[in-house]
Structure 1
Amino acid sequence: MIAYIRISKARFGRPVPSPEEQWASICQFCERHGYLVLSSCREDEASRAPDTLERYPGLSHALALAKRKKCSMVVASLDRLSRDVISLADLMHQPVPIIVAGPDPDAGSFVLQNAVALARRERRLIAADRAAVTARQVTRWRRELQAQQSEMG
């Protein structure tokens, strides 16, 4: 197995698994199911751009390495790959099996497709949270500006 670990910044109060937590999850999963981690690839870039293999060279390298070694790639959780449903669907068509560390390594594409749908929902929730945070910030700034104007005038 080739392990893929992606680092992201915590945003909007949502916890993000640390590299150590991801590695521990992958190791526990592999040990529990008798897999051997041959190598690991780490992505340190947090991106706002659409998920593509060109944008994430660590993911591209992990997939190429797994293809060359004729093995699977494992990630700690699906959101470490992407929250974009199109990108996840594209990754499902890669010649390398992608396994999400969890209780059932043989869950197959059905579970991954359901996970894609959940990732889409999570992305919508994050967007709603972002909009709410922005709206609160704008309201606060308007109040501060009105208070300053009333003090001046």
Structure 2
Amino acid sequence: MTVIISYIRVSTQQQGRSGLGLEAQQADIARFAAASGAEIAAEYVEVETGKGADALESRPQLAAALAHARKIGATIVVAKLDRLTRNVEFGAGLMNRKVNFKVVAMPHADNFQLHLFLALAEQERDVISARTKAALAAAKARGAVLGNAALAKANADAAQAFAESLREIVEPVLCRSIRQIAAYLNERGIATATGSAWRASNVARLIDRLKGETYAEEAAQAA
């Protein structure tokens, strides 16, 4: 039987957020273990206390989980990749520690693929950030007052640009349900703009930007 170690990362603010709270992560990992016939040998819960959480010395529970996994030859399992890290450099260091990682949202990804997902997510964030800054600079150059409305418009423009970058990948599979499209994108190793795995809600918003505002509601009803 495969032995796994559950690693959960939460913060006071995230406890109540859907998909990020302690119980949600525990449930995801428990389902993963049951589906794969694995035994959960231990659970480590990290509570963020502030910035710098991607430094291993600031995450003693992750350090303990790594030591435990090496000792018993277990795989460390997290619910989502961002619960492990959002930082490419830190993630690369983790993948080189001779411990296998699994992400429930990306069950077929190995350490190498997880590293690629982190790199792609970072690149996408950089692209969106650059486009947002460029849009704000252009608005300022036109004499626009940069308030919440201008920022929202810049963010919307960046989101639309990200959607357009996926048009050639998504349009050929629009005949599928939004859940099937989410699985398709995850299997191809394509992350969302924030570096997470795709879900039906993400796909619906993506298709909204490519096909029109009413599609999400229609697709959700048909899924």
What TM-score comes out, normalization by structure 1 length?
A: 0.71
CA distance in 2, matches of 1:8, 1:98: 22
Tell me the distance in 2 between the aligned counterparts of 1:103 and 1:90: 20
**Equivalent AA in structure 2 for residue 64 of structure 1:** A
Which structure 2 residues correspond to residues 11-30 of structure 1 after superposition, within 5 A? Answer: 17-30=20-33
Local SS of the residue matching 1:91 = helix
CA deviations 1:16-68 (Å, max 9, x no partner) are 61010001111111111111101100001243116121110010001111111
Query: For 1:63-121, what per-residue CA distance to the aligned partner results, in whole angstroms no more than 9, with x for missing partners?
Result: 1111111111111111001111111111110111111113534x223421221124424
Q: How many residues align?
A: 131
Aligned 1:99-110 pairs, distance under 5 A: 99-102=102-105, 104-105=107-108, 107-110=109-112
Q: Say whether the 8 Å CA contact 1:2–1:40 is kept in structure 2.
A: yes
How has the CA–CA distance of structure 1 residues 123 and 10 changed in structure 2, closer, same or farther, with 3 Å as cutoff? farther
Whole-Å separation in 2 of the counterparts to 1:60 and 1:44: 13
Equivalence map 1:1-153=2 (5 Å): 1-8=4-11, 10=13, 17-49=20-52, 51-102=54-105, 104-105=107-108, 107-121=109-123, 124=126, 136=147
Relative contact order, CA 8 A, sep 6+: which one is greater? 1
TM-score (norm: length of structure 2): 0.51
Of 35-44 and 96-105, deviating more is 96-105
* Deviation >6 Å, runs of 4+: none
Identity across the alignment (%):
35
Secondary structure at the aligned position of 2:57 is classed as coil
- Alpha-carbon RMSD across the aligned residues, in angstroms, is 3.0
Structure with more helix by fraction? 2
